[in-house]
Structure 1
Amino acid sequence: MPAAHRPALSRARFATLALLTFVTLLTGCLPGPDPTGRVAPTAPAAASGAPKSERPAADAPAAPAEVAVPSVGITGSLMELGLNRDRTVQVPPAEEGMTAGWYTGGAVPGEIGAAVIIGHNDTRFGEAVFHDLKKIKEGADITVTDKTGKAVHFTVAATESVAKNAFPTEKVYGPTQERALRLITCDGDFDAQGHPVDNLIVYATAS
């Protein structure tokens, strides 16, 4: 998986990028290339009628810096993830497996919309930040702390294990009036190339 990151996408374009026409989000949990999903944004916001953000740049929310799930012993810093040149969703590089990534095309955690955090389960270097995410239970607390030290708490509403070739794009990335959070990692059995065939998705809403 590529280590280089494109500049963070404008948060004001969330409504545009949230309606993805096709994606299979994978996290490349084992050595070697993993198939990646492509992201095809819909029409630009101005053409689609999506409202533009009225928030002045100076008042923009701070980017998230850390995610923690105390009930399963998860604490990890966050890097920013965007899209690769081929329109695939970036994932944290394997050598930074204990760092999760916030997808900048979605909402800022704690703001209205779907915020997405992606983390490895395992890499060739060993267990990674979301290795124990499969142990999470409904009702568990997830805390996301931003770069100013402000913490937002989320309560787990549901978990879902889905085949990577049937990723529920709209359910994960689609527009919502909730202050929603999704955590994503690999899950399930392995294919012939040694890659997990499923994704584990955790759905949570701000407490």
Structure 2
Amino acid sequence: MAKLQVAIDLLKTEDALALATKVAPYVDIIELGTPLIKSEGLAAITAIKNAFPDKKVFADFKTADAGELEADMAFSAGADYITILGSTGNSTIAGAVKAAKAHGKGVVVDTIGVADRVKRAQEVIELGVEFVELHAGLDEQAEEGYSIQVLIDEAKRAGVPVSIAGGVNLDNIKAVKDSGAVVAVAGGAIYGAEDPAEAAKALRAILN
């Protein structure tokens, strides 16, 4: 069964904690978005993990260099996953995987900005990453003609464990699930909803 990941793209730890409290019963993975980590630092990771020890905490570092060092920082702060950019070199990813093994944690490669996401997903999975995030960022989603169907089709072709992030919502989460993705990442569909708990509950119901 695919897991549900909430992407918290807020800027304050207290706001992230408040949102996470509402949606925690329905999600498997709590993602601290890059803006939140840049705004609040490693302490935000520790705060979320301490509040929700039974959930996987996903630190969206989008690391491009010093993979082992930054992964060690994230895992030491309480993260279960860290993202490394797929556009970076294999040595950076391998360094992060080394740190992950030392901590018993996982590395996720984020394909944002990668031209051939399927090819890169197949390459990096060989380096020992846990799964690959087929990701269209907020700027790409805002481009004319964008459709999450591109990611769904890529997931079907990849043949490796992937997550999908790029506009997951009630209208498309069944297709995301049917693509074979191991994780569905919902951001705005949850934190932008009038009732985030109900939104997360509805997404979870479809995944189940």
Name whichever structure is richer in strand by fraction: 1
TM over 0.5: no
Name whichever structure is richer in helix by fraction: 2
> Which structure's relative contact order is higher, taking Cα pairs within 8 Å and 6+ residues apart?
1
Query: TM-score w.r.t. structure 1 length?
Result: 0.26
